Amino acid sequence: MTLLRSATVVEPADRANRAGAARDGTLLVALGAALWGLDGLLRMPLATSKVGGQVTAKLNAGTIVLWEHVIAFIVLAPQLPAALRAFARCGWRERAALVTIGVGASAVATALFTKSFALAGVHHDYVTPLVLQQFQPVFAVALAVILLRERPQPMLALFAIPALVGGWLVAIAHPLHPQVAELSPALLALAAAALWGGGTVLGRYVGGSVTPDDVTTLRFAFGLLGAIGVVAVTGAPIAPGWHNALGLVLLALIPGIIALGVYYRGLRGTPASRATFAELAFPATATVVGIALGTPLTASQWVGIVVVAASVLALGWREAARAQLTAAAAAS
C-alpha cells in the first residue's frame, strides 16, 4: 500500500473545497457498502448454529469482534508505523475522531450488530438486523450538518427519499403493518446504525488529512483496543476454536479490510451527507444474502431492492457527471 501521505491538517471548509475538485466517489462508496452486505453470509455460521432444527447462538459477539480485529490488525501491521505517524501529525480533533471511529464505529457497533444478528437468527430472521442499517443516513446527515457544516443539496432529496422508502420496503415484510418480532435485536441494530452513521461523518472529517489506507489501519488498531474492552466488559471467551478460523479470516478480509479500503477511497471525494445514502447499497445486498440464508421475501421487499439499487446508481451517475462538468469548467 503506497499512497501519498499529507502532513497537513485540513479544516472542514477546506476539505469541502478540495472534495469538490476531486473525482466523485459515490459509486466507490456504494461498492464498499455492497461488500458489507456480504457480512451476514459470513457472520451467520459464526454467530448461530442449528441443532435439531432449532437455531441457537454460537460464538459470543465479543469473541467474534475481537478476532475480526486481531486478524485485520495482523494483516495491516506493516502499514501501522506510517499510520501512527499520520496520526501524530493530526490535530487533537482529528485524533479524537480516529479513536472514536475505531472504538465506537468499529468495535462497539460491530459487537452490537453481531448480538442483534444472533438474537434475530434464533427466529430465522437474517434480514432485519442487516437492513435496519438503512437508518444510518438519518444519523449521518444530522451529524454532517452539525460537525462538518455540510449543506445537503436540495436535489439530494430526489434520490434520498426513494432510497429511504426502498429501504423501508426491504426491511418490513408488510410495510403498512410493521411489526418488530423481537425488540432487542431491532434496538441493538439501530444502535449499531447510529454508531456506523457517526463513523461515516468522522471518516469524512479526517479524510483531508489522513489517507484511506491510514484510516483503515487506525480504525482496526483502535478497534482492537475497543474489542478487548468489549470482551473484558461482557466476559466473552477469548478462544474461538480452530474450526472457526477460516470464517473469521474471511469475515475480517472481505466485509472488513477490502470493503473499508474501497469505501474510504470513495469517501474522500464524497460529502458525508451524500455518501451515507450511497451506503444504502448495503441493505440491498444484505437482503439478497438473507434470501441465501433462508429468509423469505415478500413482493414489496423485492420492489424495495430495485428502488434502493436504482436510487444509489442514479445518484452516483449524477454526481460523477457533475464532477466532470466542474473539472471541465475549472480547466477552461
Quick: pLDDT tens for 183-192. 678 788 889 9
How far is Cα 283 from Cα 288, in angstroms, rounded to an integer?
9
Q: Is residue 318 part of a domain?
A: yes
Task: Judge whether 237 lies within some domain.
Answer: yes
Report CA torsion sign: 116, 28, 38, 309: positive
pLDDT digits (tens, 9 = 90+) for 308-332: 778 877 776 776 677 677 777 777 7
Q: What's the N-to-C CA distance of the chain in angstroms?
A: 34
Angle of helix 136-147 relative to helix 183-206, nearest 10 degrees, comes to 30
Q: Kindly state the cell numbers that stand for 157.
A: 432529496
How many domains does the chain fold into? 1
Query: What pLDDT is attached to residue 9?
Result: 32
Q: Is 164 within the bounds of a domain?
A: yes
Q: Is residue 16 part of a domain?
A: no
Is there a domain that residue 17 lies in?
no
Half-sphere exposure of 36 (CA within 13 A, CB side): 27
What amino acid occupies position 13? A
| pLDDT at 16 exceeding the cut of 60 | no
Q: Which domain holds residue 136?
A: 37-331
Residue 70 belongs to a domain: yes
At 201, give phi and psi (nearest 5°).
-65, -45
Q: Is position 55 within any domain?
A: yes
pLDDT in tens, 213-267: 899 899 999 999 999 999 999 899 998 888 889 999 999 999 888 988 898 888 8
Question: Is residue 60 in some structural domain?
Answer: yes
Q: Model confidence over 137-151: pLDDT tens digits? A: 667 776 777 777 767
CA pair distance 58, 115, nearest whole angstrom: 11
**Angstrom distance (rounded) from CA 232 to CA 116:** 19
The three three-digit cell numbers of residue 201, written as one number: 461523518
Q: Per the structure block, which three cell numbers stand in for 137?
A: 443516513
The model carries a pTM of 0.71
* Cell numbers describing residue 210: 489522513
